[in-house]
Chain A
Amino acid sequence: MRLKLLGALGMAVLLAACSDNSDKGATTGTGAAAQTTGVTPGSEADLVANVGDRVFFELNKNNLSTEAQGTLDRQAAWLAKYPQVTIQVAGNCDDRGTEEYNIALGERRANAARDYLVAKGVAASRITTISYGKDRPTATGDDEQSWAQNRNAITSVR
């Protein structure tokens, strides 16, 4: 189950990385304007392609930027449209912190995103959180751009 989800995420990440490399890691594939055809509405692929599955954070921070809030607003609207969908929000960190601290920091980021969604009307019972610390990087390089990509909270359909 988990492997399958991560597989889907990995695909999304690859696609995103191809299309958004010039964007300093601020967004990946959040092109809400262009509806991607061929994906099931209310699915993980729909979320990734048409809503934006992730928000990004500054170094050692969990504040939600205006851009992040925009992404979460779209997620909240999407979740309102598909009330049967439950989600997991996974917090992640770059690898410039210690393993244990980053587990807590990732959870703090996941909770920040979760709290925002709940404030926007998503039932808390539809959201679980998890943190992978620095152990599941999206971008596998070690440079500022990769680290910015890896400081995130990723929403996935359960």
Chain B
Amino acid sequence: MRPSDMPLISDGDASLLATAFGRRGLIGAGIAGGILASPLAALAQGAPGAAEITVDQARSEPIPIVIPPLGGDFGQQVSAVVSADLGNCGLFRPIAGSLPAGMPDFGTYKSLGARALVSGTATSSGGALRVEFRLWDVLTGTQIQGTAYTAAAADVRKIAHIIADVIYERMLGEKGYFNTRIAYIARSGPRAHQTTRLAIMDQDGANSHYLSGGQWLTLTPRFSPASDQLAFMSYANNRPRVYMLNLATGRQQLLGDFEGISFAPRFAPDGRSVVLSATRGGGSDIFTVDLVTRAKRQLTSSGAIDTSPCYSPDGSQIVFNSDRGGTPHLYIMSASGGGAKRISYGSGTYGSPVWSPRGDLIAFTRIANGSFSLGVMAPDGTGERIMTQGFTVESPSFCPNGRVIAFCRQTAAGAGGAGFSSGISTVDITGFHERAIPVGGASDPAWSPLNG
């Protein structure tokens, strides 16, 4: 088999990519969010994408990749964003280098220890931006990807994130998550009475803005599967309840009709309903609310606190938090409400479970001896593993490919609340590469789906 006939990646990954690219229109010509992507002709002889990438080492060693400042007036900015995305995820090691003119001299880049190279230009003209981007396999000297994007100049960061996603996908064989957003609660003011605002930002902390004023305590935003709505909890008019916010129109409406406090909302994977909990007597029950008919259906009635429900990605099961056994632990039941089974058995208490989009892991908060841990376990409760610890680490939220978790980290307060801080960090599910997202006082991260 000639090199140009060899598959770029394994068949399994190829089908993954086909699905991803088919939907998002990244390889072929397509429009996504006002951004047009079209293939670039190869500079080299032979078809583009003629290299085979071996990713065996990628999991243990970051892939060295040269990301020089691209040409054009926006080149520096595009490269900076791409470098930050790939470097921060921990799976790549961006290397500074010079931009090749035309066909790269691969020997030069090989001597830098690089596996891959990015080249291209980012040029604006009257508010429009054209970014030409090529990804090269330095070892084989072939072009892996060549795409031109045209969009409004205001979308420069978005295009850079899309390029970082393409590189991630081409090199690792799974979808990237850089062109995503995180909804969260912005926090400011004194410890005893923090001002909380619904807010949203790009996954790297850029473009942060408020979605609500700070008049009422507001908590736990959650994305709909189509990323067009948030469910969240607000104490508006001193009645703590779950609301929906349409991100396109800004329209906000109450969800469901409950006697007690409604809280802890999460969308069903099909987007047709929201599962939440509502207080009653000395406990709280789990309900679903149909988003079309607004009909509610009660799933639990244990008399205990049943809360923090989260669907499995296939929609067949729900993991939730309950103190029906005396202290808060994690349980799994069918999506229709039956057959609850406890899955957490470690010492201390457990809470805020969230199901990985891959389906194979449940992330959770564990509290023991006054300190918090964030961990993952299999849905049957086996293989518990702690990723990070701290005074308070909670509210885990998976990125769309399930590799990284965003969470809230808070420090202990001294007298008068001095030293208290609340922020959002991310950590790889392996427990490596924890880093804070530079967005200031924040909590309750909710990572958007891929189309976010």
Contact = CB atoms under 8 A, between A and B. Distances in A.
Interface of A: 2, 6, 10, 60, 62, 88, 95-101, 103-105, 107-108, 111-112, 130-132, 135-138, 140-142
B264 A112 contact: no
Interface in B384-417: 391-392, 394-395, 410, 412-417
**6 closest A-B pairs by CB:** A140-B417, A98-B351, A142-B412, A140-B191, A104-B305, A104-B284
A104 to B, nearest CB: 4
Contacts, number: 114
Contacts of B413: 140-142
A60 B283 contact: no
Contacts of A62: 282
B239 to A, nearest CB: 8
Interface in B410-444: 410, 412-417, 420, 443-444
B203 interface: no
5 contacts: A2-B238, A62-B282, A100-B307, A101-B321, A131-B279
Interface in B299-313: 305, 307-308
A132 B217 contact: yes
A131 B410 CA distance: 21
Contacts of B196: 135
Contacts of A98: 308, 321, 328, 351-352, 365, 367, 394-395
Given A98-B352, A135-B194, A141 B283 contact: no
Given A108-B305, A141-B414, A141-B417, A101 B193 contact: no
Nearest to A137: B192
Interface of B: 190-194, 196, 217, 219-220, 235, 238, 240, 260-261, 263-264, 277, 279, 281-284, 305, 307-308, 321, 323, 327-328, 349, 351-352, 365, 367, 370, 391-392, 394-395, 410, 412-417, 420, 443-444
A60 B326 CA distance: 10
Contacts of B307: 100-101, 103-104
Given A98-B365, A103-B261, A140-B417, A10 B192 contact: yes
A111 B282 CA distance: 7
B220 A142 contact: no
Given A97-B367, A104-B277, 20 more contacts: A6-B193, A88-B238, A97-B351, A99-B219, A99-B395, A100-B220, A101-B351, A103-B264, A104-B263, A104-B305, A111-B279, A112-B282, A132-B217, A136-B193, A137-B191, A137-B192, A140-B190, A141-B413, A141-B417, A142-B420
Contacts of A138: 192
A130 to B, nearest CB: 6
A95 B384 CA distance: 24
A139 to B, nearest CB: 8
B64 to A, nearest CB: 40
Contact of B444 (A6, A88, A99, A103): A99
Most A C-beta atoms less than 10 A away, residue of B190, B279, B352, B420: B279
B308 to A, nearest CB: 5
